[in-house]
Amino acid sequence: MPIYEYGCQACGHQFEKLIRNPDDLPKSCPSCGQPRLKKRFSTFAAKVAAPAGGCRNQEACPVAHTCRGGCCGGHG
Ligand SMILES: [Zn+2]
């Protein structure tokens, strides 16, 4: 499930948002209401970029981006 981190270019407010479908994409800043959001980071993308042979429990493993196995009970 992709989580996007946004930063407002108008007021500097930063927030994360879980995107289940395109309707969840934030259209304006929840703090100031300005539609000047910039996507800063995607947790989902970072996990997808994990090296081959890494943690297979990407969804639940808290350190999936560095895990090589053994960090959680989800390895098989
Ligand atoms: Zn703002």
Number of independent structural domains in the chain? 1
Residue 12 alpha carbon to ligand 1 centre in Å = 6
Q: Is residue 34 part of a domain?
A: yes
Cα(2)–Cα(69) distance, integer angstroms? 22
Residue 18 alpha carbon to ligand 1 centre in Å = 18
Return the number of other C-beta atoms located less than 10 Å from residue 8's C-beta.
21
Residue-level pLDDT at 14: 94
Q: Is residue 29 part of a domain?
A: yes
Residue 49 alpha carbon to ligand 1 centre in Å = 30
The enclosing domain of 23 has a CATH number of 2.20.28
Q: Is residue 70 part of a domain?
A: no
pLDDT at 72 > cutoff 90: no
| pLDDT confidence tier of residue 26, bands split at 50, 70 and 90 | very high
Q: Is residue 9 part of a domain?
A: yes
Q: Is residue 38 part of a domain?
A: yes
The CA-atom distances, in angstroms, between 42 and each of 2, 48, 55, 75 are 7, 10, 18, 23
Q: What is the mean pLDDT of residues 45-60?
A: 59
Q: What is the mean pLDDT of residues 35-39?
A: 94
